[in-house]
Structure 1
Amino acid sequence: MATRIEESAVVESERESVAATLGSFRRRVGIGFVAAVLANLLLLGGARVAGVAAFEPLGIVPVALATAVAVLGGAVLYAVLARYTARPKRNFTALATVVVLASAVTLNFASTLPGATTAGVAVLGVMHVVAYAVVVAVLTDRQPLA
């Protein structure tokens, strides 16, 4: 169990880290936006090459728009947490995890759409996880950026 002094040092270190990275926040959001959209479009292309039948949510425009909305929503959430919480990286990661798990409910709805297949719904689920992984990695700065 961490002492109050150790916990205070961790919180202060995270605050300083967030303050330093907020200067590059727009850049990180842009990188996350491009990376997540491209990753999901590549996944969509791979699914089509593999013969996964396309249905409404697996179009280029819906995939790009939904991914873009997810990234921008994550950026707004992270900015709010950075402003109002002592541990924004930890809190953002936890909330983003809850959101991606809750997004599994939408997969049940997607499975009822005309043309939906098990493989198509599985691809959608993987896209949710891809967007989550990119957004969390980039916004919390958990990987090196050049």
Structure 2
Amino acid sequence: MKKKEASLFCLLEVKKKSKHLSWIERKMYKRLLPYYTHYTDEVYKARDRKAVTDDGTVFKTKEGRTLEKSFLNKNLVLTKIGEKELIDLKMEWMKEYLNQSFGWIPKKVIELTLQYLSVVLIALFLLYFVL
């Protein structure tokens, strides 16, 4: 999960620079701050995955020359791939957070709910034909 948390932090950092984060994203961002040490590597990996790109702005000097900035110093934005990846990572992070916080596994809850639902449906089916 460490790699995914670093990747999630990277995408949140890029989104934070270009847009406002939602309250849940801010909460995630604060919890993931220790992964800032991996930020530089993750930005370049995200660029290779085409999850982030620069917005195309250039830096011009007083003399009119265009200077090339390093990729990290450019204005980075999330691409459609990056937005989808961010959503997937957020969902995975939230599921992991809930598992750690409450100590229950959502799969078990779903299984029990489906079992009770099937029993209720069978009972209703039998009542319908008996009455």
- Please report the TM-score for the alignment, with normalisation by the length of structure 2: 0.28
Structure (1/2) with the larger strand percentage: 2
Q: Which has the higher contact order (CA 8 A, sep 6+)?
A: 1
Structure (1/2) with the larger helix percentage: 1
- Please report the TM-score for the alignment, with normalisation by the length of structure 1: 0.26
